[in-house]
């Protein structure tokens, strides 16, 4: 499932994050590349241990934990510490697939879902589209600053060359409580339906109670804790 998650940060919040990030010491993006990615990746990145990356990364995690749509869709077990990249002057990232296992210090996860949080407005740069290969063809993603796209880490994807301006984003991976993408999508759609029925009929309606029981019993069956 490829999902646009709006409003992780407001415009003013993005401006404050960018002020902090832009002051950092950006280095070659291949410092965190796997073997395949290193042959395709041309961009810059904040070092993982830089104070800017740590500070803003903590704010990203805090915002995600408070975002109901993200939690419902991702069902996060462990979120890899957010990283930050920058593309400009023709920089790009060729077609690749993300590593199945990501490790940083004591944090080791199976990458079920990949996330890109856009921190530049679409009109501030040309190119820089995230192109994700889906079953029904390539999906092109270029979102407002503060919005996030969530997609399966097994997907082939790329970032087109940035020919004007700068594309700044946070990127990271997560291990979900539910490994299978189809099962996770089913739970998300069911959760959305429950919320709609609740608004219409109220939380104590028998249909709401029954659907909620079905949701949790499916989650119990499919989750890995």
pTM of the full predicted structure? 0.94
What does the pLDDT read at residue 225? Answer: 84
* Whether 172 contacts 63, CB under 8 Å: no
Alpha helices in 179-222 (DSSP H): 181-201, 206-222
What does the pLDDT read at residue 29? Answer: 86
- Condensed to tens digits (0 to 9), the pLDDT of residues 185-225 reads 999 999 999 999 999 999 999 999 999 999 999 999 999 98
Per-residue tokens: 60: 């990203």
Is 180 known to sit in a ligand binding site? no
Question: 3-state class of 86 per DSSP?
Answer: strand
Is 96 known to sit in a ligand binding site? yes
Is 157 known to sit in a ligand binding site? yes
Is 216 known to sit in a ligand binding site? no
Beta carbons within 8 Å of 200's beta carbon, 6+ residues apart: none
Which domains does the chain possess? Answer: 3-176 (2.60.120.620), 181-222 (4.10.860)
Per-residue tokens: 39: 């042959």
């Amino acid at each position: 499932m490829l999902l646009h998650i709006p409003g992780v940060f407001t415009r003013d919040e993005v401006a404050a994050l960018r002020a902090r990030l832009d002051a950092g010491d950006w280095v070659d993006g291949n410092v965190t590349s796997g073997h395949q990615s290193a042959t395709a990746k041309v961009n810059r990145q904040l070092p993982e241990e830089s104070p800017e990356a740590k500070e803003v990364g903590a704010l990203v995690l805090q915002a995600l934990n408070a975002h109901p749509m993200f939690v419902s869709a991702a069902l996060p077990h462990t979120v890899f510490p957010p990283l930050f990249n920058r593309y400009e002057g023709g920089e790009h990232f060729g077609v690749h697939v993300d590593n199945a296992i990501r490790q940083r210090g004591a944090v080791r996860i199976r990458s079920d879902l990949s996330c890109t949080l856009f921190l530049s407005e679409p009109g501030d740069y040309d190119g820089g589209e995230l192109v994700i290969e889906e079953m029904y063809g390539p999906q092109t993603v270029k979102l407002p600053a503060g919005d996030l796209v969530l997609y399966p880490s097994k997907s082939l994807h790329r970032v087109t060359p940035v020919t004007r301006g700068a594309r700044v984003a946070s990127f990271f991976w997560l291990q979900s409580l539910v490994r299978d993408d189809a099962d996770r999508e089913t739970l998300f759609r069911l959760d959305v339906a429950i919320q709609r029925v609740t608004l219409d009929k109220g939380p104590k309606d028998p249909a709401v109670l029954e659907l909620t029981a079905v949701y949790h019993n499916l989650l119990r069956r499919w989750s890995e804790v």
